[in-house]
Amino acid sequence: MATIAAPSKICALVPVKRLGWAKSRLAPHLTTGERNCLAEAMLRDVLDVLSKVPQLGGIAVVTSDTAVASIANDYAAVVIDDLDDAGINNAVRRGQRVLAAEGYAGVLVIPGDIPFLSAQEIELALSTLADCNVVITPANRDGGTNLLGFSPPHVMDPSFGLHSFRRHLAIARAMGLEVVVLPLEGAGHDIDVPADLWSDTDGPAIQTRRLLARLGKDVPPACPGPTQEPLSP
Ligand SMILES: Nc1nc2c(ncn2[C@@H]2O[C@H](COP(=O)(O)OP(=O)(O)OP(=O)(O)O)[C@@H](O)[C@H]2O)c(=O)[nH]1
Ligand SMILES: O=C(O)[C@H](O)COP(=O)(O)O
């Protein structure tokens, strides 16, 4: 891995699994090729936003996919090899170890599937993390965790998975860490299931919106408007 500049600051840590394996929960709605393109578009949106936040000390992508590594290079992010592809928690722990060794003051874990995040939201997460040990942004919809900040980088282990927001909060509190819950509209919107593709969420998501419009795949909200009743004769 290349040496990262400004190690006293907080580094963004973006775990990304192989594009060909991405977004399996969207399989009923998108082909494998479409999911591959969506994963790339979301990642580009995330990295584009991160590259516009000067307060970040660096951007690191943990992946074992050479295509993802090449995208990371487009945004001057460094690549940490995800040697074993053993899930998001393993990838994050690996990033924590590497970035702690590089001397970073903290890490902000940012999944590659939150394209609606904004630079202002990242700035707010960073300034919040300057005064505590753990920052947690819950997913808007499913009880997950969309941003997870640690200061110092290995202050606690990640525990992503079902209902991870409550679990992260409970672990941090049980450890006596200073923890702040930071709800954020854009960063809180991840794309996991077909209903997540439709959005009135603010936030740039430029590549993602463009791709979905091109595919004609943006879907209506979970609660659609009036059903189409057959017309009376
Ligand atoms: N490096 C790495 N990243 C991972 C791994 N598993 C998940 N991620 C990333 O973690 C983030 C959140 O993952 P998920 O929401 O579960 O995304 P996903 O695995 O593509 O979606 P599903 O297949 O539907 O579960 C995404 O950026 C993923 O690429 C892994 O084994 N290694
Ligand atoms: O803890 C979580 O939120 C999940 O493991 C990762 O996020 P997801 O909701 O996008 O799958």
Question: Is 84 close to ligand 1, i.e. is its CB under 6 Å away?
Answer: no
* pTM (whole model) above 0.95: no
d(CA 136, CA 181): 5
Does 226 reside within a domain? no
Does 68 reside within a domain? yes
- Out of 190, 193, 196, mutate this one to test ligand 2's pocket (max ligand atoms within 8 Å of CB): namely 190
Does 227 reside within a domain? no
Contact yes or no for 68/19 (Cβ under 8 A): yes
Whether ipTM exceeds 0.90: yes
- Structurally, the chain folds into a number of domains equal to 1
Does 220 reside within a domain? no
The pLDDT-based confidence of 127 (bands split at 50, 70, 90) is: very high
Provide the residue range defining the domain that includes 49.
7-215
Does 63 reside within a domain? yes
Q: CA separation (Å) from 7 to 25, 48, 59, 209?
A: 37, 21, 11, 34
Question: Is 94 close to ligand 1, i.e. is its CB under 6 Å away?
Answer: no
Does 14 reside within a domain? yes
The closest residue, in CA terms, to atom 9 on ligand 2 is: 144
Does 224 reside within a domain? no
Average pLDDT over the chain reads 90
Q: What is the CATH number of the domain that holds 91?
A: 3.90.550.10
Does 122 reside within a domain? yes
Tens of pLDDT, residue by residue over 146-162, are 999 999 999 999 999 99
